[in-house]
Amino acid sequence: SELLLLNGPNLGTLGTRQPEIYGTTTLAEIEAAVAEEAAGRGWKVVSAQHNGEGELIDVLQRHGHVAGAVVNPGALMIAGWGLRDALADFAPPWIEVHLSNVWAREGFRHSSVTAPLAAGVVMGLGALGYRLAARSLTLLVPDDRP
Protein backbone atom coordinates (compact mmCIF):
# COMPACT_ATOMS: atom_id res chain seq x y z
CA SER A 1 0.00 0.00 0.00
CA GLU A 2 0.95 3.61 -0.46
CA LEU A 3 0.64 6.82 1.49
CA LEU A 4 0.43 9.98 -0.60
CA LEU A 5 2.29 13.06 0.66
CA LEU A 6 1.06 16.09 -1.27
CA ASN A 7 2.42 19.59 -0.85
CA GLY A 8 1.08 22.70 -2.55
CA PRO A 9 2.54 26.03 -3.66
CA ASN A 10 5.76 27.35 -2.12
CA LEU A 11 6.38 24.27 -0.01
CA GLY A 12 9.24 23.05 -2.23
CA THR A 13 11.45 25.77 -0.73
CA LEU A 14 10.95 24.67 2.87
CA GLY A 15 14.19 24.97 4.79
CA THR A 16 14.90 28.47 3.52
CA ARG A 17 11.36 29.85 3.08
CA GLN A 18 10.54 32.31 5.87
CA PRO A 19 12.29 30.07 8.43
CA GLU A 20 10.96 32.18 11.30
CA ILE A 21 7.48 30.97 10.33
CA TYR A 22 8.06 27.59 8.68
CA GLY A 23 11.27 26.37 10.36
CA THR A 24 14.45 25.08 8.75
CA THR A 25 13.43 21.50 7.96
CA THR A 26 13.54 20.81 4.23
CA LEU A 27 10.84 19.03 2.24
CA ALA A 28 13.29 16.15 1.65
CA GLU A 29 13.64 15.75 5.42
CA ILE A 30 9.86 15.82 5.83
CA GLU A 31 9.53 13.16 3.12
CA ALA A 32 12.04 10.98 4.97
CA ALA A 33 10.15 11.36 8.27
CA VAL A 34 6.83 10.49 6.61
CA ALA A 35 8.43 7.49 4.89
CA GLU A 36 9.71 6.29 8.27
CA GLU A 37 6.21 6.45 9.78
CA ALA A 38 4.62 4.79 6.75
CA ALA A 39 7.17 1.97 6.91
CA GLY A 40 5.82 1.12 10.37
CA ARG A 41 2.68 -0.07 8.61
CA GLY A 42 4.51 -1.52 5.62
CA TRP A 43 3.43 1.36 3.38
CA LYS A 44 5.51 3.15 0.76
CA VAL A 45 5.33 6.91 0.33
CA VAL A 46 4.50 8.66 -2.92
CA SER A 47 5.52 12.29 -2.57
CA ALA A 48 4.62 15.21 -4.81
CA GLN A 49 4.95 18.98 -4.55
CA HIS A 50 3.53 21.38 -7.10
CA ASN A 51 3.10 25.11 -7.21
CA GLY A 52 0.16 24.85 -9.57
CA GLU A 53 -3.32 23.83 -8.53
CA GLY A 54 -3.86 21.86 -11.75
CA GLU A 55 -0.85 19.62 -11.14
CA LEU A 56 -2.02 18.93 -7.59
CA ILE A 57 -5.44 17.94 -8.92
CA ASP A 58 -3.76 15.63 -11.47
CA VAL A 59 -1.86 13.87 -8.66
CA LEU A 60 -5.05 13.35 -6.64
CA GLN A 61 -6.90 11.99 -9.66
CA ARG A 62 -4.10 9.50 -10.31
CA HIS A 63 -3.81 8.31 -6.71
CA GLY A 64 -7.34 7.45 -5.69
CA HIS A 65 -6.09 3.96 -4.80
CA VAL A 66 -3.74 4.94 -1.93
CA ALA A 67 -4.35 3.94 1.70
CA GLY A 68 -4.32 7.54 2.88
CA ALA A 69 -2.84 10.96 2.25
CA VAL A 70 -1.16 13.84 4.07
CA VAL A 71 -1.91 17.13 2.34
CA ASN A 72 -0.55 20.62 2.91
CA PRO A 73 -2.46 22.78 0.42
CA GLY A 74 -0.39 25.88 1.26
CA ALA A 75 -2.17 29.06 0.25
CA LEU A 76 -4.71 27.03 -1.73
CA MET A 77 -6.38 26.52 1.64
CA ILE A 78 -7.71 30.03 1.21
CA ALA A 79 -9.48 29.80 -2.15
CA GLY A 80 -8.43 26.60 -3.90
CA TRP A 81 -11.88 25.61 -5.03
CA GLY A 82 -10.62 23.30 -7.80
CA LEU A 83 -8.37 21.50 -5.32
CA ARG A 84 -11.28 21.29 -2.92
CA ASP A 85 -13.47 19.65 -5.58
CA ALA A 86 -10.69 17.14 -6.31
CA LEU A 87 -10.39 16.32 -2.60
CA ALA A 88 -14.16 15.88 -2.37
CA ASP A 89 -13.84 13.15 -5.01
CA PHE A 90 -10.75 11.61 -3.36
CA ALA A 91 -11.88 8.52 -1.46
CA PRO A 92 -8.91 7.67 0.81
CA PRO A 93 -8.78 9.26 4.27
CA TRP A 94 -6.46 12.26 4.39
CA ILE A 95 -5.12 14.70 6.94
CA GLU A 96 -4.48 18.40 6.33
CA VAL A 97 -1.21 19.74 7.70
CA HIS A 98 -0.06 23.30 8.22
CA LEU A 99 3.38 23.93 9.64
CA SER A 100 2.28 27.22 11.17
CA ASN A 101 -0.67 27.83 13.44
CA VAL A 102 -2.78 29.60 10.83
CA TRP A 103 -5.27 30.72 13.49
CA ALA A 104 -2.52 32.83 15.06
CA ARG A 105 -1.76 34.58 11.76
CA GLU A 106 -3.45 37.00 9.34
CA GLY A 107 -7.23 36.91 9.15
CA PHE A 108 -7.20 35.66 5.53
CA ARG A 109 -5.63 32.41 6.78
CA HIS A 110 -8.29 31.76 9.39
CA SER A 111 -10.43 29.50 7.29
CA SER A 112 -9.59 26.67 4.94
CA VAL A 113 -11.81 25.59 2.05
CA THR A 114 -10.17 22.15 2.10
CA ALA A 115 -10.01 21.35 5.84
CA PRO A 116 -13.75 20.54 6.20
CA LEU A 117 -13.15 17.53 3.92
CA ALA A 118 -10.18 16.20 5.91
CA ALA A 119 -10.32 13.41 8.48
CA GLY A 120 -8.29 15.69 10.71
CA VAL A 121 -6.07 18.76 10.75
CA VAL A 122 -2.63 19.23 12.31
CA MET A 123 -1.32 22.78 12.55
CA GLY A 124 1.29 24.80 14.36
CA LEU A 125 3.65 21.91 15.13
CA GLY A 126 6.09 22.63 12.32
CA ALA A 127 7.59 19.72 10.41
CA LEU A 128 6.63 17.37 13.24
CA GLY A 129 3.02 17.78 12.14
CA TYR A 130 3.67 15.77 8.97
CA ARG A 131 5.12 12.88 10.96
CA LEU A 132 2.18 12.92 13.36
CA ALA A 133 -0.34 13.04 10.53
CA ALA A 134 1.34 10.10 8.80
CA ARG A 135 1.47 8.13 12.05
CA SER A 136 -2.22 8.89 12.65
CA LEU A 137 -3.11 7.42 9.28
CA THR A 138 -1.11 4.26 10.00
CA LEU A 139 -3.15 3.89 13.20
CA LEU A 140 -6.55 4.96 11.88
CA VAL A 141 -6.81 3.28 8.49
CA PRO A 142 -8.50 -0.11 8.84
CA ASP A 143 -6.72 -3.25 7.62
CA ASP A 144 -9.15 -3.84 4.79
CA ARG A 145 -7.96 -0.78 2.88
CA PRO A 146 -5.44 -1.71 0.18
Q: In this chain, which of 3, 59, 71, 77 binds ligand DQA, going by CB under 6 A?
A: 77
SS3 label, residue 46: strand
| Residue positions counted in the chain | 146
User: Do the beta carbons of residue 46 and residue 66 sit within 8 Å?
Assistant: yes
Q: Scan residues 11-70 and list those touching ligand DQA (CB under 6 A).
A: none
Which stretch in 33-41, 48-56, 60-68, 74-82 sits in contact with ligand DQA by CB under 6 A?
74-82
Q: In this chain, which of 50, 84, 98, 131 binds ligand DQA, going by CB under 6 A?
A: 98
How far apart are CB 93 and ligand DQA at their closest, in Å? 19
User: Do the beta carbons of residue 94 and residue 76 sit within 8 Å?
Assistant: no
User: Do the beta carbons of residue 77 and residue 115 sit within 8 Å?
Assistant: yes
Q: Count each helix (H run) and each strand (E run) in the chain, helices first.
A: 6, 5
Q: Which residues carry out catalysis?
A: 22, 98
How far apart are CB 51 and ligand DQA at their closest, in Å? 10
Q: In this chain, which of 74, 80, 92, 93 binds ligand DQA, going by CB under 6 A?
A: 74
Which stretch in 41-49, 63-71, 73-81, 136-144 sits in contact with ligand DQA by CB under 6 A?
73-81
Q: In this chain, which of 75, 79, 88, 139 binds ligand DQA, going by CB under 6 A?
A: 75
User: Do the beta carbons of residue 118 and residue 128 sit within 8 Å?
Assistant: no
> If binding is defined by CB under 6 A, does position 100 make contact with ligand DQA?
yes
Nearest to 1, CA basis, from 64, 59, 66: 66
Nearest to 27, CA basis, from 53, 44, 50: 50
- Residues binding ligand DQA (CB under 6 A): 10, 72, 74-75, 77, 98-100, 102, 109
